[in-house]
């Protein structure tokens, strides 16, 4: 059981340090998608309503332990203030003199945002003592800690893991909701349980495939990893994405699936084109007849029907990884078909993975038609893999 905010007791007048995921996409200093800031609002609002003085900490981009102004959280301060309607102040440092002074002066009902935690190399240090020292500086700013940055809970980092050991700690609403939803699929899924896997590489998702071969009833394979599976069955894949060094591993997966009675469904047809570009000529070919000079960039219409039918008869569906290069409209059909089948079906439906979640939004689907769209790519994948996440472990009662 995860500790909840209520377990922290009376928060009136207390300083509460909250780890958020504010790692938003920026273009020329402007936020292009504020989804992650919005996702943090329920917890921040609850803390403000409880009379707490709220101090947020987060990272942005990859400054690699150096102060880099282009990765300042200043744009997030402004957007958060607009969304939540209270005063939000930015500390000029993370745990330095300015952060201390501003934390001290913080009034009830206001928010202080500490500057990018990754400006300090100790945040991501592999050295336990370095992280512990940084955590002590963080802990000195507040009375308790709330973890709500789901996108980082798989990281053993100071603001996620070490600081939680020094203060009374609890999970925020976003982390609770993510964990509850993902555990519905991983711990005791209502069956049939179907998992749809796609994306670019098999090697990114080896762990999750191995784990699912013991848990899921059906595994539908699409996206770039299709071609390594087809090659493992002895088919030629032309110029398609192929990880030749994974063919043996994939062969063992095909065997394991048979032994465990897991239905492994591969595309029966694919959309091919001669070059990796949006507007080349496209042809639908059978999965065992990919021309030598072409590459598969999407699953074909028969495969879409097959996948949609499997999804329709499922009670739980988890999806990670686009079925094709959905960024090019000509190759978005497979991804659309999976999203539509999940949206129309009655199963408990989970979407995990940064690109898959982005695809759902970009292709114009109504997010509320899915049971859960995860905000964390790596974290949701590791949960599906059955791993214990450091940032979750420290929040267990
Ligand atoms: P997620 O972030 O949802 O976990 P991934 O990062 O694994 O997904 O993969 C997403 C990428 O996979 C997309 O950018 C998409 O263009 C690419 N992709 C999907 N199908 C193919 C394919 N057949 N060939 C090459 N790339 C593909
Ligand atoms: Mg991705």
Give me the CATH number covering residue 315: 3.40.50.1260
pLDDT digits (tens, 9 = 90+) for 45-73: 999 999 999 999 999 999 999 999 999 99
- Residues of the chain under the 50 pLDDT cut: none
Task: Give residue 116's Cα distance to chain centre.
Answer: 20
Active-site position among 35, 96, 207, 378? 378
Question: Residue 290: nearest ligand to its CA?
Answer: 1
271 Cβ inside 6 Å of ligand 1: no
Active site residue 201: yes
Same domain? 19 vs 129: yes
Same domain? 217 vs 286: yes
Give the pLDDT score at 376. Answer: 85
Q: Which domain holds residue 134?
A: 5-177
Q: Which of 177, 200, 216 is the last residue of a domain?
A: 177
- Measured distance CA(160)–CA(393) in Å, rounded: 11
- Nearest protein CA to atom 21 of ligand 1, as residue: 224
Same domain? 316 vs 255: yes
Q: Would 12 be classed as within a structural domain?
A: yes
Q: What pTM was estimated for this model as a whole?
A: 0.88
Contacts 24+ apart (CB under 8 A), 131-135: 131/157, 131/158, 131/161, 131/162, 132/162, 134/95, 134/158, 134/162, 135/162, 135/163, 135/165, 135/166
Give the pLDDT score at 326. Answer: 96
Same domain? 140 vs 21: yes
Active site residue 223: no
Distances (CA, A) of 195 to 48, 198, 310, 316, 321: 39, 10, 10, 8, 11
Q: Which of 155, 177, 199 is the last residue of a domain?
A: 177
Structure tokens at 236: 């030629």
392 Cβ inside 6 Å of ligand 1: no
Q: Would 51 be classed as within a structural domain?
A: yes
63 Cβ inside 6 Å of ligand 1: no
Active site residue 199: no
| Dist. CA 285 → ligand 1 center (Å) | 20
267 Cβ inside 6 Å of ligand 1: no
Give the pLDDT score at 386. Answer: 85
Distances (CA, A) of 202 to 222, 246, 311, 354, 372: 10, 8, 22, 16, 24
Q: Which of 177, 199, 220 is the last residue of a domain?
A: 177
Give 258: exposed, middle or buried? Use CB within 10 Å, 0-12, 13-18, 19+: exposed
Question: Residue 327: nearest ligand to its CA?
Answer: 1
Give the pLDDT score at 323. Answer: 98
223 Cβ inside 6 Å of ligand 1: yes
- Nearest protein CA to atom 14 of ligand 1, as residue: 325
Helices 74-84 & 35-49 angle (0-180, nearest 10): 60
Same domain? 243 vs 103: no
| Dist. CA 136 → ligand 2 center (Å) | 34
Q: Would 392 be classed as within a structural domain?
A: no
Same domain? 25 vs 171: yes
Sign of CA dihedral 358, 360, 366, 368: negative
Phi, psi of 88 (to 5 degrees): -120, 125
> Measured at the alpha carbon of residue 179, what is the angle toward residues 337 and 324, in degrees to the nearest 5?
25
Structure tokens at 80: 């958060």
| Dist. CA 124 → ligand 1 center (Å) | 27
Same domain? 116 vs 231: no
300 Cβ inside 6 Å of ligand 1: no
- The DSSP call for residue 160 is I
Q: Would 396 be classed as within a structural domain?
A: no
Question: CB within 8 A of 83, min separation 6: which ones?
Answer: 34, 37, 38, 41
Sign of CA dihedral 213, 217, 222, 226: positive
Active site residue 85: no
Same domain? 92 vs 203: no
Same domain? 209 vs 320: yes
Q: Would 394 be classed as within a structural domain?
A: no
Q: Would 168 be classed as within a structural domain?
A: yes
Q: Given phi > 0 = left and psi -120 to 50 = alpha, else beta, which region is 64?
A: left
- Measured distance CA(78)–CA(27) in Å, rounded: 15
When divided into structural domains, the chain yields a total of 2
Cα dihedral angle (50, 137, 87, 22), rounded to 10 degrees? Answer: -90
Same domain? 39 vs 153: yes
354 Cβ inside 6 Å of ligand 1: yes
Which of ligand 1's atoms lies nearest the C-alpha of 205? Answer: 7
- Measured distance CA(218)–CA(330) in Å, rounded: 28
Same domain? 264 vs 172: no
Helix (H) or strand (E) run with residue 9 in it = none
Which is it for strands 316-320 and 348-352: parallel, antiparallel or unpaired? parallel
Same domain? 37 vs 125: yes
Active-site position among 46, 177, 184, 201? 201
| Dist. CA 358 → ligand 2 center (Å) | 9
Nearest to 367 by CA among 22, 35, 43, 26: 35
Give the pLDDT score at 204. Answer: 83
Beta-bridge partners for 144: 16
Structure tokens at 75: 């744009």
| Dist. CA 273 → ligand 1 center (Å) | 16
């Amino acid at each position: 059981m995860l500790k909840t905010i209520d377990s922290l007791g009376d928060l009136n007048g207390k300083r509460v340090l909250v780890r958020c995921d504010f790692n938003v996409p920026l273009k020329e200093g402007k936020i292009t998608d504020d989804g992650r800031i919005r996702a943090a609002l329920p917890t921040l609002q609850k803390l403000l309503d409880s009379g707490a003085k709220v101090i947020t900490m987060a990272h942005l981009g990859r400054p690699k332990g150096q102060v880099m102004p282009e990765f300042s959280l200043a744009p997030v301060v402004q957007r958060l203030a607009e969304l939540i309607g209270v005063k939000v102040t930015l500390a000029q440092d993370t745990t330095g003199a300015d952060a201390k002074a501003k934390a001290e002066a913080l009034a009830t009902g206001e928010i202080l945002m500490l500057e990018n935690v990754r400006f300090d190399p100790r945040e991501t240090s592999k050295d336990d003592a370095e992280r512990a020292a940084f955590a002590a500086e963080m802990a000195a700013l507040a009375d308790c800690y709330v973890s709500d940055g789901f996108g980082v809970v798989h990281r053993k980092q100071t603001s996620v893991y070490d600081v939680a050991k020094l203060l009374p700690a609890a999970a925020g609403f976003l982390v609770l909701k993510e964990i509850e939803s993902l555990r519905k699929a991983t711990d005791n899924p209502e069956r049939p349980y179907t998992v749809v896997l796609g994306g670019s590489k098999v090697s990114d998702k080896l762990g999750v495939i191995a784990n699912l071969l013991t848990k899921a009833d059906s595994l539908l394979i699409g996206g770039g990893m299709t071609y390594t599976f087809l090659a493992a069955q002895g088919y030629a894949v032309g110029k398609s994405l192929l990880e030749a060094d994974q063919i043996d591993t994939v062969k063992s997966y095909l065997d394991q699936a048979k032994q465990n009675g897991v239905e492994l469904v591969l595309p029966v047809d694919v959309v091919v084109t001669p070059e990796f570009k949006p507007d080349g000529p496209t042809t639908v070919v059978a999965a065992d007849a990919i021309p030598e000079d072409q590459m598969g960039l999407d699953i074909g219409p028969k495969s879409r029907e097959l996948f949609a039918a499997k999804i329709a008869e499922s009670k739980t569906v988890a999806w990670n990884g686009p079925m094709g290069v959905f960024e090019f409209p000509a190759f978005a059909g497979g991804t659309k078909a999976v999203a539509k089948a999940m949206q129309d079906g009655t199963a408990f439906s989970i979407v995990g993975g940064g690109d898959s979640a982005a695809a759902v939004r970009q292709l114009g689907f109504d997010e509320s038609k899915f049971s859960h769209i995860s905000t964390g790519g790596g974290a949701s994948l590791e949960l599906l893999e059955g791993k214990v996440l450091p940032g979750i472990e420290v929040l267990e009662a």
